[in-house]
Amino acid sequence: MIGSVKKKILLMDKVLLSPHPGAARGVEVFNLFLIRELSEMGCKITVPCHREWVETIRNAGTEVETIECSMTGKPIVTGLIAASKLTRRRFDVLHLGNVANGLIPAVKWLFFAGVVKRCVLMSHREPSRRFVHALKGLRCTVLAVNGVIAEHYSDAGYDDVHVYFGLPDTDQYFPAEKKKGDKFNFCVVGYLDNAWKGADTAIEAFRKVPGDIRISMNLHLVSYKDPPAFEEDDIIPYKWMSLDAIPELLRGMDVMIVPSRDEGVMRETFCLAAVQGMLTGLPLLVNDLPILVEKVVDAKNRIPGMVFDGPERLTASMVSVFQDKARREDMSEAAREIALERYVWSTDDFCRRFLFKEGSES
């Protein structure tokens, strides 16, 4: 509980106003974690949602109220329905879980009707110009998951913009005391059915590894909704795995490859998988994208990984990190240190600095 009175939070997210995708990932997982944490702190959280999300959200915390909206899959409709149901309510703060043009009418109505007076936006991806313009006149604190996203708001004249994000539930990610097995294990982790995750780049690079070296390696592809078949025994695809199973799997790996590429709308904005790997002490081999490169660049000259550009460079990096044990151990230590310093989420800190920051009016 924050103070002597329970804070009332209205949490809205486009995904929660849409049909349940079947397996929560990324932003959905983070929002459910945040709901649980805020509930445990004694806050009262109200979540407008599609009816397919009701049970999942209610199971996230004891102090959670769901506002069930229409069965339509369009957030612009469900958002407005939710806003109309909340017209006579009052909340201390609106937490927007991500950017979404479809939520603009609902957010404006909530401010106009006095349901909320301030908003904290977690911008997990780049906003449209329309979205930035629409929220500019409102009392809005923006938390962007990377600097590129933050610039959209700063350049538009927002005066309360921060780069702030991290991985929740980090205690379960830690290095193995001793690796098991006689093979050297590379892994790619993510929703690999999506082409922009770049699993094909990792596969092509792995196939280029000279045979006398590759015989000592495996490539683990974690994971797919519909795993492809491979003729090679050393390329191992996984069917979709729950988040709870990932920490133990990572402790059986030696190096994480992050081959994600920019395909316009589809791109990495933070890459939770990379941070999971770093916390587990895995050196990173990352594609040459700003959001990935920043994970392996450090002001203290620690080197947690290597950057590649194209399958040939990735092949060379795989061979190099395999053959140089001392360098690999240095990378492992640096990866965990940097992740613990930069990328661990604290809900207490989030509430104190942003959600219920001193000087903000309810």
Domain residues of the chain, as ranges?
Answer: 8-165+345-355, 170-342
Q: Which residues are 46's β-sheet partners?
A: 10, 65
Q: Is 170-342 the same fold as 8-165+345-355?
A: yes
- What's the pLDDT at 24? 67
- Here the tokens at position 72 are 């339509």
The 3-state secondary structure of 191-240, one letter per residue: CCCCHHHCHHHHHHHHHCCCHHHHCCEEEEEEEECCCCCCCCCCEEEEEC
- What's the pLDDT at 115? 97
- What's the pLDDT at 265? 67
Q: How far is CA 323 from CA 4, 207, 216, 312, 333, in A?
A: 59, 17, 11, 17, 17
Burial label for 119, CB within 10 Å (0-12, 13-18, 19+), is buried
Tell me which CATH code domain 170-342 carries: 3.40.50.2000
Query: pLDDT 10s per residue in the chain (362 long)?
Result: 455 568 999 999 998 988 887 766 678 889 999 999 999 999 999 999 988 899 999 998 888 999 988 666 678 888 898 899 999 999 999 999 999 999 999 999 999 999 999 999 999 999 999 999 999 989 999 999 998 899 999 999 999 999 999 998 899 999 998 766 789 999 999 999 999 999 999 999 999 999 999 999 999 999 999 999 999 999 999 999 988 899 999 999 999 999 999 887 678 889 999 999 999 999 999 999 988 998 998 878 899 999 999 999 999 999 999 999 999 999 999 999 999 999 999 999 999 999 998 655 54
**Dihedral pair phi/psi, residue 59, rounded to 5°:** -75, -15
Contacts of 334 (CB under 8 A, 6+ apart): 298, 302, 303, 304
- What's the pLDDT at 284? 98
Instruction: Of 103, 111, 99, 100, give the one whose Cα is nearest residue 138.
Output: 111
- What's the pLDDT at 273? 94
- What's the pLDDT at 3? 52
Q: Which CATH class is domain 8-165+345-355?
A: alpha beta
162, 354 contact by CB (below 8 A) = yes
Instruction: Of 188, 9, 199, 162, give the one whose Cα is nearest residue 89.
Output: 9
Contacts of 36 (CB under 8 A, 6+ apart): 60, 61
Distance CA 80, CA 150 (A): 27
Distance CA 211, CA 266 (A): 34
Q: What secondary structure letter does DSSP report for 294? A: G
pTM: 0.84
